[in-house]
Chains A and B, each alone.
Chain A
């Protein structure tokens, strides 16, 4: 039962084939068995999960029928969860119990979902391999010697290994889509502003967006129906009606115009991933879509611009961690400056400190125009490239990552790690919706397909992904897990 999609579990719960308490117990047992080897969870909420499951079963007995009622899920440890440890995988928040729920968390709670726990991640979501976590790296369920991707690697590994039915994540430069690709699951980043960022610990405020990591595009639609929408507490959340994302999943792809960026099929893409993507494109043509090459001429500048914008915003956001109001404080500070400096130096990991330094430099007097303003101009060019492309096509498709998951410890150079997100970063700079779905297992390792849509055209992206999943079974393939105890 635990391998099923949310849509299937929802039917099984409605039919009385299983209870939420039974499901919750099954996932908790699975976590007990495999979390030691995967390190996907930082915190497991056993007692509160069972209490929520009991409440869900009672509500169902009383006639309630929400699609996520009683569904066991996990939250990336970047979301504040009332009364539950919320660490952002950092030493500086290792003892922080959030005093409130993020809007995403509250909405899922209100929908009757059960919170199994909080998942591991790159520290402050800064990383593409999950190796920067203060709590140690997450292992890829397909090969424990390989990374699950990042930064939402714990959520991706947990979904892939059936430690939960669905999970939340956040995506600033690819942090939902790349781990989804590496773990053979579905990961969806909505348009910027579609989902509230309130209570999501901020990394880069003009880029961050929350979304689901799940077993199918249909499940992504089910979660989007709950978490999307205006929130007065997030001034950047958009005031637009939220459609029923499941209503258009069944639409035919006949006549769909797919654009493939020539820049995403160039040097750097491995032959094996390219073959998986070409095979998928042939499948889309069978479904009635047409494929044309498009040009995103400024795509190669997206990583450069991103590594100004994201660190600049991060350096401002992370200034709040000062050892005064919550979290870690260094021992025996001699004065206030010593307390700030040692708290931050001891509390933040190497990658987080590097990004704070780069961001501080980019914003410092004399360099603002050369870096921050320049990057914002490049950002405009990147957005214009997409606008032009979407005059000719309905969706843009390519690989999510240039390769299948790499080995733990294989990328020690920060710049090499930054280039991991070469196909995903531009989508965040432009604020567009994007999904990664399973598209093949070359050499037994997952290859992800990336689908990008127009601003706020989440429904189309989910429809295209769902139709592909009706025609293929890559998203149903499961890893063979290794139990460390055995």
Chain B
């Protein structure tokens, strides 16, 4: 399936990526090529085939609902670009 530039820009927005005007054409062309590769699978009739989401035929393991992790808030927030008083800082959202 061929994509046009406006569709690629819409997908980029969904993925929270910024596409510069200069890049959009090149990216559209590359992605169209990749979709052509992917579309080879459309030739196969898979009507009665069950999808395989995961290589193992097992059910999700459950664990007891118990606290196992220690509180490492301060250490983890040291990794943040901006944090203060135990909160992550981002640009103002509500005026």
Residues of A that sit less than 8 Å from B by CB: 96-97, 99, 191-193, 206, 232, 235-236, 238-239, 298, 300-301, 303-305, 307-308, 315, 319, 322-329, 333-342, 344-345, 348, 353-354, 356-358, 360-362, 364, 370-371, 373-381, 383, 413-415, 418, 429-432, 455
Contact = CB atoms under 8 A, between A and B. Distances in A.
Interface of A is mostly: helix
A416 B52 CA distance: 27
Contact of B16 (A99, A341, A377): A341
B34 A414 contact: yes
B2 interface: no
A339 B30 CA distance: 26
Nearest to A382: B52
Interface string B2-18: 01000010011011111
A313 to B, nearest CB: 10
**Which 7 interchain pairs have the tightest Cβ spacing?**
A431-B55, A376-B51, A329-B81, A377-B46, A380-B52, A341-B18, A326-B79
27 contacts: A99-B79, A192-B56, A193-B56, A238-B58, A307-B37, A319-B15, A324-B80, A324-B90, A333-B91, A336-B93, A338-B91, A339-B91, A341-B18, A342-B18, A353-B17, A354-B34, A358-B35, A358-B38, A361-B31, A362-B38, A370-B42, A377-B46, A381-B44, A383-B52, A415-B33, A415-B34, A429-B55
A97 B80 CA distance: 11
A236 B54 contact: yes
Q: Which of A307, A345, A348 has the most CB of B within 10 A?
A: A345
A455 B55 CA distance: 9
A96 B79 contact: yes
B74 to A, nearest CB: 11
Given A99-B75, A206-B54, A333-B91, A364 B18 contact: no
Contacts of B52: 376-377, 379-380, 383
Contact of B38 (A97, A298, A304, A348): A304
Q: Which of B16, B35, B46 has the most CB of A within 10 A?
A: B16
Given A324-B90, A326-B79, A337 B49 contact: no
A326 B80 contact: yes
A104 to B, nearest CB: 19
B90 A336 contact: yes
Interface of B: 3, 8, 11-12, 14-19, 27, 30-31, 33-42, 44, 46, 49-56, 58, 60-61, 63, 72, 75-76, 79-82, 88, 90-93
Contacts of A348: 17
Given A99-B79, A191-B55, 19 more contacts: A206-B54, A206-B55, A238-B58, A304-B39, A305-B41, A308-B41, A328-B81, A329-B81, A329-B82, A335-B93, A361-B35, A370-B42, A376-B52, A378-B46, A379-B52, A380-B49, A414-B33, A414-B34, A418-B34
Contacts of B82: 329
Q: Which of A323, A376, A432, A455 has the most CB of B within 10 A?
A: A376
Interface of B is mostly: loop
B34 A307 contact: yes
A308 B38 contact: yes
Contacts of A235: 60-61
Nearest to A428: B55
Nearest to B10: A364
Given A360-B11, A431-B56, A378 B44 contact: yes
Contact of A378 (B3, B15, B18, B41): B41
Contacts of A193: 55-56, 58
A357 B8 contact: yes
B51 A307 contact: no
B17 A357 contact: yes
Given A339-B90, A354-B30, A379-B52, A323 B17 contact: no
Contacts of A353: 17, 27
Nearest to B88: A324
